[in-house]
Amino acid sequence: MTYELISVSIILILGYLGSYLLYQKNYLKKATHIRLWNILILITFLISVVAGLILLCLVEYGITIPNNQGILYWHVEFGIAMFWIAIFHIHSYWMSSSKDGENSSRDKSGRESD
């Protein structure tokens, strides 16, 4: 069985770069950009977990069904997607905290605070 590592990765990276560019050009609010990727990480997590739990139960009870390999395939594919979306998630919040950190050292008058 082969997994679609490259194609899934390219699609997600291009999708993130597209939404990030829309956010940078002010076509998309920052909150909408982050919410979109938060929803996607939740969906990929839930699908991967459900598939993993189904596989665990099948192995634990020695049950063999014709679709074991199909469930494993989708479990791995959504795991790959979740990896990339987690990286995007970290980037979104790292980007937010670095901008907040620059602003927090200055008060409203623009002077450095202690």
Per-residue model confidence as pLDDT tens digits over 73-108: 999 999 999 999 999 999 988 877 766 555 544 444
Please give the Cα distance from 71 to 96 (Å, whole number): 37
Span 20-57, pLDDT tens digits: 999 999 999 999 999 999 999 999 999 999 999 999 99
Quote the pTM value.
0.78
- Residue 76 CA, chain-centre distance (Å), reads 15
Per-residue confidence (pLDDT) for residue 102, from 0 to 100 = 54
CB of 44 closer than 8 Å to CB of 81: yes
CB of 23 closer than 8 Å to CB of 30: yes
CB of 58 closer than 8 Å to CB of 68: yes
Of all helices (H) and strands (E), which one includes residue 109?
Answer: none
Residue type, 73: Y
